[in-house]
Amino acid sequence: MGHPNADAVRAAFDAQTRGDWDAVRGAFADDVVFHVAGDNRFSGTYRGKEEVFALFDRRRAEWRTAGMYHMRDGRIAEAWGFNEDQQAVDQFWS
């Protein structure tokens, strides 16, 4: 057991791996802000669970990403994703 915020993020990723999208949604604050890096059709800022999960539904691919999370009351309130090879990701989605 680590820090409660780190545990919450890990639990969200574990739920995603299991396909438990209700648990994943529960890990995010209702007013979450999600930032997607790069220069492609998904790049930008998404606000609220509806926008964020609409993004997740459209964007299905795998690559190595580092995430930075701002937590509020045990939930993800803001997130930034940084891709290992942003140029490759941009080319893929262009």
Domains and CATH numbers, the chain: 29-93 (3.10.450.50)
Please say whether the beta carbons of 48 and 57 come within 8 A. Answer: no
Q: Are 37 and 81 in contact (CB under 8 A)?
A: yes
Q: What are phi and psi of 40, to 5 degrees?
A: -145, 180
Q: What is the mean pLDDT of the chain?
A: 88
* Ordered alpha helix ranges (H), 1-94: 4-18, 21-26, 48-58, 86-93
Q: pLDDT tens for residues 11-53?
A: 998 998 999 999 999 999 999 999 988 898 888 999 999 999 9
Indicate whether this model's pTM tops 0.75. yes
pLDDT (tens digit per residue) in 44-82: 999 999 999 998 887 666 667 788 899 999 999 999 988
